[in-house]
Amino acid sequence: MLADSINQHLPQTQCSACGYPGCRPFADALAVGLAPVDGCSPGGLPLKRRLQLLTGQAVEASANALTQTALPLPLRAVIRERDCIGCTKCIAPCPVDAILGAPKQLHSVLTELCTGCGLCLPPCPVDCIELVPAQTRITWPRADSAAASAIRTGADITACTACGDCASACPCALAPAPLARALANADLEAAETLGLARCSGCGRCAEVCGERIPLTAYFIQGKAMAEAVNWQAEQASTALDRQQRRAVRETRAVASAVPAYVAPPADSGQARHEILAAINRARGRRPASGAES
């Protein structure tokens, strides 16, 4: 199902920045063409590319697409302990069960599981929850970084003459020009195939480039973007798994709350009589006086 595939690629932040109440409603709308592929701002341009491929839309090329997206810094919820009154109202809205607490007891957030969706903020009667930038192990890519600025202000990758000097100078045996072209279009899959991870960032390719294209800047920004996207995918996978497990638990809880129908013994004549009577009442007829007993 297309909506399922789309939902698996979304960041699962449930931030509603797309205009829908969550990632799954956005995926459902996108699957039927009611939502734009660039509606998810946390996913940025790399996600837009992926969604275009999933939905069969044309992927446009851009000379500096890599610098046109700055993935927003991920947020995490924190609870100010001195203000928490232990009301438990923030626990139920959390889609990933990242909040621990009990009535009249201090609550806490499992920050490694929190997606920063903010759904816990409105129910809090004392406003003791806030969203803060998450501490991650990666260098988050920025549109105003030195590498991004060099790409915007330097010679464009479209100025490449395919002379091959950069490839000859590369000590990592890469093809810097095609790699930079893939990154310019935010095609991280192609960049990984071309060996982005092997780039040492030595800068020799940029030094020998006759067009003065800042090739190294493409690789620095591209590595940061790829690392951020991979981290985002790991977080989304964990969040989606917890959401699905929670849905299963809630379904089982509802099912267990409904009294189960206990069938009468097969050899009970009185039970058969009652069933026939019920069928006749449903049909608008009185039970036959001579019903089998």
The pLDDT confidence band at residue 267, using thresholds 50, 70 and 90, is low
Domains of the chain (ranges plus CATH)? 2-60 (1.10.15.40), 75-135 (3.30.70.20), 146-227 (1.10.1060.10)
Residue 9: per-residue pLDDT? 95
Q: What is the pTM of this model?
A: 0.79
Structure tokens at 232: 């985002």
Q: pLDDT band for 101, please (50, 70, 90 cuts).
A: very high
Give the per-residue pLDDT at 250: 87
Structure token pair of residue 149: 């600025």
**pLDDT digit string, tens, across residues 248-261:** 988 888 888 777 66
- CA pair distance 39, 20, nearest whole angstrom: 9
At 127-179, the pLDDT tens digits run 999 999 998 888 888 888 889 889 888 888 989 999 999 999 999 999 999 99
pLDDT in tens, 2-37: 999 999 999 999 999 999 999 999 999 999 999 999
Alpha-helix runs per DSSP H in 100-214: 146-153, 165-169, 176-184, 188-193, 204-208
Determine which of 18-32, 78-92, 119-133, 260-274 has the lowest per-residue pLDDT on average.
Answer: 260-274
Predicted local distance difference test score (pLDDT) of residue 59: 82
Contact 57, 37 (CB under 8 A): yes
